[in-house]
Amino acid sequence: MNALEHNRYTDAWATLGSAIPRPRAVLCVSAHWYTNATAVTAMATPRTIHDFFGFPDRLFAVAYPCPGAPEVAAEVAEVAAPRWVGLDHDSWGIDHGAWSVLTHVYPDADVPVLQLAINALQPLDYHLDLAARLAPLRERGVLIVASGNVVHNLGALDWARPDAGFDWAQRFGEAATQVVVDAPSDVLTLEQHPDYALAVPTPDHFIPLVYFAGVAAAGGPARPDVLIDGYAYGSLSMTCYTA
């Protein structure tokens, strides 16, 4: 619903889009393209995907008609080598993990966007390594966006806590921030945190954080920073980082 709302998170995303240099393209790692291969969208005109149910009709009416960038997709495959990245010409597009954020960052949908599939068959260290291989794309004008949630437990939602987090969610979120800001290359140590199982019942929404940390760790001495933080419905973290 953040795609339709204006709140402190969407304001932060909009401010970020205005503050940073306009990128050549956006490469988005979204929790919602979680599949059995590593691939990147390579179509010239990606479709807007509404990969959810039970929401208002006006959310299904959202379109994000950004162009694609097949030539950047080829560069993604190039820099990832010897990791294999397939070129997806027709199966995916831009899902809500990407457009719900980008509609505020680049509301005119005039920046080319690609998505990188999260390979569900691979362990976390694979994703950390792949992220480091993708980091040089930033020097070529590509903005890398990782979209998930540090804490994402839909089974524990508490609708009475729209702007608050359970104690365990806050503990894990704070631990994640400390690692990501101080030592992003150590992001996988979060698997040993006592609240990991509650905060990360499935890996799909956590893996984008691994990509962010991997890119940040490979990007040089600049430290990541917290763009905005907060919690929703007890068991969701809304914390966002930049690097």
pLDDT reported for residue 179:
98
**What's the confidence (pLDDT) of residue 56?**
76
Res 89: pLDDT: 97
User: 44 CB contacts (<8 Å, ≥6 apart)?
Assistant: 67, 68, 70
Looking at residue 47, its pLDDT comes to 97
Among 121, 176, 167, 113, smallest CA distance to 145 is for 113
What pLDDT, on a 0 to 100 scale, did the predictor assign at position 38?
Answer: 98
What pLDDT does residue 154 have?
Answer: 95
3-state secondary structure of 91: coil
Beta-strand (E) ranges in 62-138? 86-88, 113-119
Q: Residues 151-164: pLDDT tens digits?
A: 999 999 999 999 99
Confidence (pLDDT) at 149: 97
Which stretches of the chain score pLDDT less than 70? 221
Considering the chain, what is the average pLDDT of its residues?
A: 96
pTM for the model: 0.96
Length of the chain (residues)? 243
User: What does the alpha-carbon distance between residue 69 and residue 25 come to, in Å, rounded to a whole number?
Assistant: 7
Burial 138-156 (b: 16+ CB within 10 A, else e): beeebbbbbbbbbbbbeeb
The single-letter code of the amino acid at 82 is: P
Give the per-residue pLDDT at 219: 82
Separation between Cα atoms, residue 47 and residue 167, nearest integer Å = 39
Name the token pair of 153: 């437990």
